[in-house]
Structure 1
Amino acid sequence: MLDSQAPTFRRSARLQSQKVSEILAIGARAAELRSEGHPVIVLGAGEPDFPTPDNVIEAAHRAALNGRTTYTPLAGTPELRAAVAEKFKRENGIVYTPSEVIITAGAKQVIFNAFMATLDPGDEVVIPAPYWTTYSAMVDICGGVPVKVTTSADTGFKITPAQLEAAITPKTRWLMLNSPSNPTGAAYGIEETRAILAVLERHPAVWLLSDEIYEHIVYDDFACVSPAALSPAIRQRTLIVNGVSKAYAMTGWRLGYGAGPEALIKAMTVVQSQSTSNACSISQAAALAALTGPQEVLAERRDSFRARRDLVVSAINAMPGLSCRVPEGAFYAFASCEGVLGAQTPEGRILESDREFCSWILETTHVAMVPGAAFGLSPYFRISYATSTDEIEEAMGRLARACDTLVLPV
């Protein structure tokens, strides 16, 4: 007779502290409200609203028709690895060989492969906060210790050399830099980057993971320079993370790439061999077309994002209790809601945190935003302006009208 009791499921210890992203939870609640007939506007997704360029789709179609549907080499097709190396030479002034490049199923896998290949239990990774939530989670899952260094609007949400120096210990293995940043849109200028590299030069055991996925989305003549291009010594212990998802609107194609010392890339390839194996063959053909084809689309879309940024920042700064610095890049605004904490809503509710503020806005105005707490820094909220101007204007109007109803603390 079979035991009628259901078996007990036990999570591994590495997952005990992990849960589904708060961003996804907010998206799920927004979908519920929409299914109930509410006119929800989601300003939470880190995804361009533009279509994938036609030449990229055509290249993928040709690849499928020509039978490019089989396994590829683990680290990527020779053609794409060479194209990535050429991209770094052309756009960033950094010379890599194809053997120093790995192609992955999204940029996220570059980071995961690197941590799995390098972190031993107790190894530390310095992460400036606010940060993309996956950074900390991946360090935890791979057995490392995330060392979160809180930044502020006063420093442009960027880690200072003094903060970095204080955070480094004998256990530090990596510093993570994301420039331009998710969630703040902050980007490190050349001199700011040199100052960070000067600290790393004094600590030769610390490697640099430079997430440059938003490099093509910068504004106001900002010069986006890769740290690996500024210091030959640091280049030898830098992993650059990038991909085609943001610049070329290819999020669903799941195609990322990394570049770094060959020994690191080989170790990351071993990890990949025991997880996903090669990235999708069709996506690799598409990425090849993106990197080697016409690039005019990048400037066109950047101009559109800049106009949306200006609309969002101007609107927020006109609202009582809210404020927002002007981001240098990406398609996010990271706004402070400190001025509305302690405020009373028309329903008599007291807003005591950024999570409560965002929840109230979602439930009453049906605009979905992500609280700064999800990114490790309160009291802020993130707005993604990777949506249409009409939706942004409507959302900002709803947000302004909601804030006008608050009784602000004296």
Structure 2
Amino acid sequence: MEMDNRKFRSSDLFARSTVRELPGSLIRELANSAIGSSEILPFWFGESDQSTPMFIREAAAQSIMRGETFYSQNLGRPYLREAIASYLTQLHQKPFSADQIAVAGSGVSALMLAAQLLLEPGDRVVAVTPLWPNVVEIPRILGATIARVGLTVRGGRWALDIDRLIQELTPETRLLVLNSPNNPTGWTIGQESILAILAHCRRHGIWILVDEVYERLIHDQAVSSAPSFLPHYEAGDRLISVNSFSKAWSMTGWRVGWICAPEPLMQDLAKLIEYNTSCVAEPTQRGALAALEHGEPAVSLLRSHLRDTRKFIVDHLESLPGVEVPAADGAMYVFFQINGYDDSMDTARQLLRTVGLGLAPGSAFGPEGNGWLRWCHAVSQERLNDGVQRLKQFLSGS
């Protein structure tokens, strides 16, 4: 038998080309260069500056003390799946069952699982953008191609050209990916658009994957959540909704979310969870259960806080010359641009270097976001005021 005399060097060790070509997170690139510095005032991550409510932490701690440290079911403990189904039923006035629910190890893990369920290499995916980069890169990791439909500013607010989106949803399209309320813009889809998209996708057999992580963080006090596809779900619809405990219940570090999907998918979804993470830790599930059972006051308090802080930051930004802040209906961000600052990554670096202000560059969310900056306002008004003063200092050149 002949020996293979080829010599391999460490420089020959590569991940597959699709992974090598993935762009790194521009937000992480900025943050990693400054995390831990007391001179930096960061607003680049999408999370509250408040710890998870105590009753949620206590539920998880009690679970640990009871010794609930073993494997659980792939799809999640029945008590949590039933609680999520009950929560969705009440929230959307549409009956859902535990058989349509899977517990996942974070919202982003849920997005990956949904994509693994549906996508083959070469499949066509349409995404409404700008968008959190993870959502559009996950299909690419699996070999799918992405067509982007960008939001635009009309009448001083973020808007979706529904006719253009429908045109992009060709019969060859496998999946539509949509996030509402949207990260980074705060744009929130309306009921008419939901119905138009559903009707079109039903006709052509297109799957819809909707990221509804921010659905409770809607600025209108008169409604309990943002418009959703779920109240319009009918048996046979190709619809998957992904959600998370991270935002509305201030549980970003817990890494727990859920998937609401047609029941026929659940057996295969359980297999995928087994091969990804096996299951979610039970103390985490106990915390999530407490969030659903006792968390409405905390959600209401956060929503009220976000309304106040958004008004505060928008009022101050709009008072600055050359700053544009389109209106939006949800999430926890202000997406704005400054006249004359067209390269958002360069601007973000300048802000960090000169005045210690950490904002997310709009280009992190795709080419449609270049020239824009994202400011997370889920923090104290004192911190926001400090940030505004630093931005003023930057713009004045002092």
TM-score by length of structure 1 reads 0.89
Q: Which amino acid aligns with 1:395?
A: G
Task: Return the alpha-carbon distance in structure 2 between the equivalents of residues 369 and 262 of structure 1.
Answer: 41
- Residue aligning to 1:245: 246
- Residue aligning to 1:147: 147
- Residue aligning to 1:29: 33
Task: Return the alpha-carbon distance in structure 1 between the equivalents of residues 243 and 295 of structure 2.
Answer: 19
Task: Return the alpha-carbon distance in structure 2 between the equivalents of residues 105 and 56 of structure 1.
Answer: 17
Of residues 366, 382, 385, the one that matches 1:393 is: 385
1:361 equivalent in alignment to 2:351? yes
Task: Return the alpha-carbon distance in structure 2 between the equivalents of residues 271 and 116 of structure 1.
Answer: 8
Deviation at 1:11, TM superposition (A): 1.1
Of residues 8, 13, 16, the one that matches 2:12 is: 8
- Residue aligning to 2:79: 79
Decide whether the 8 Å contact of 1:124 with 1:144 is kept in 2.
yes
43-52 or 217-226, larger mean C-alpha shift: 217-226
- Residue aligning to 1:226: 228
Task: Return the alpha-carbon distance in structure 2 between the equivalents of residues 121 and 104 of structure 1.
Answer: 24
- Residue aligning to 1:344: none
Ranges in structure 2 where 5+ consecutive residues have no aligned partner: 1-6
Task: Return the alpha-carbon distance in structure 1 between the equivalents of residues 287 and 116 of structure 2.
Answer: 28
Decide whether the 8 Å contact of 2:45 with 2:360 is kept in 1.
no
SS at 1:279 equivalent: coil
- Residue aligning to 2:4: none
Task: Return the alpha-carbon distance in structure 1 between the equivalents of residues 24 and 186 of structure 2.
Answer: 24
Task: Return the alpha-carbon distance in structure 2 between the equivalents of residues 356 and 222 of structure 1.
Answer: 40
Task: Return the alpha-carbon distance in structure 1 between the equivalents of residues 187 and 131 of structure 2.
Answer: 11
- Residue aligning to 1:93: 93
Task: Return the alpha-carbon distance in structure 1 between the equivalents of residues 197 and 298 of structure 2.
Answer: 32
Decide whether the 8 Å contact of 1:104 with 1:255 is kept in 2.
yes
Superposition map of 1:284-299 within 5 A: 284-299=285-300
Deviation at 1:194, TM superposition (A): 2.5
- Residue aligning to 2:335: 334
SS at 2:33 equivalent: helix
Residues 157 and 196 of structure 1: CA distance in aligned 2, closer, same or farther (over 3 Å): farther
SS at 1:175 equivalent: strand
Task: Return the alpha-carbon distance in structure 1 between the equivalents of residues 8 and 181 of structure 2.
Answer: 55
Deviation at 1:294, TM superposition (A): 4.3
- Per-residue CA distance 1:70-113 (angstroms, 9 max, x = gap): 00001100100111110111111232221211001001111101
SS at 2:308 equivalent: helix
Superposed CA RMSD: 2.0
Superposition map of 1:29-178 within 5 A: 29-31=33-35, 34=37, 39-154=39-154, 156-178=157-179
SS at 2:34 equivalent: helix
Task: Return the alpha-carbon distance in structure 1 between the equivalents of residues 96 and 134 of structure 2.
Answer: 27
160-169 or 250-259, larger mean C-alpha shift: 160-169
266-275 or 363-372, larger mean C-alpha shift: 266-275
1:372 equivalent in alignment to 2:362? yes
Decide whether the 8 Å contact of 1:161 with 1:199 is kept in 2.
no
Task: Return the alpha-carbon distance in structure 2 between the equivalents of residues 213 and 5 of structure 1.
Answer: 45
- Residue aligning to 1:349: none
- Per-residue CA distance 1:223-250 (angstroms, 9 max, x = gap): 41221213536x7211111121111111
- Residue aligning to 1:256: 257
Deviation at 1:4, TM superposition (A): 11
Q: Which amino acid aligns with 2:50?
A: F
Residues 301 and 56 of structure 1: CA distance in aligned 2, closer, same or farther (over 3 Å): same
- Residue aligning to 2:191: 190
1:180 equivalent in alignment to 2:181? yes
Residues 158 and 178 of structure 1: CA distance in aligned 2, closer, same or farther (over 3 Å): farther
Q: Which amino acid aligns with 1:80?
A: L
Deviation at 1:6, TM superposition (A): 4.2
Decide whether the 8 Å contact of 1:160 with 1:196 is kept in 2.
no
Task: Return the alpha-carbon distance in structure 1 between the equivalents of residues 138 and 9 of structure 2.
Answer: 34
Deviation at 1:5, TM superposition (A): 6.0
Residues 294 and 115 of structure 1: CA distance in aligned 2, closer, same or farther (over 3 Å): closer
- Per-residue CA distance 1:102-155 (angstroms, 9 max, x = gap): 001001111101111110111111111110110111011112112111221128
186-195 or 99-108, larger mean C-alpha shift: 186-195
- Number of residues of Structure 1 aligned to a counterpart in Structure 2: 387
SS at 2:373 equivalent: strand
- Residue aligning to 1:216: 216
Decide whether the 8 Å contact of 1:333 with 1:385 is kept in 2.
yes
Decide whether the 8 Å contact of 1:210 with 1:239 is kept in 2.
yes
Ranges in structure 1 where 5+ consecutive residues have no aligned partner: 342-351
Decide whether the 8 Å contact of 2:106 with 2:256 is kept in 1.
yes
Task: Return the alpha-carbon distance in structure 1 between the equivalents of residues 29 and 146 of structure 2.
Answer: 23
- Residue aligning to 2:3: none
Deviation at 1:221, TM superposition (A): 3.2
Decide whether the 8 Å contact of 2:249 with 2:295 is kept in 1.
no
Residues 4 and 149 of structure 1: CA distance in aligned 2, closer, same or farther (over 3 Å): closer
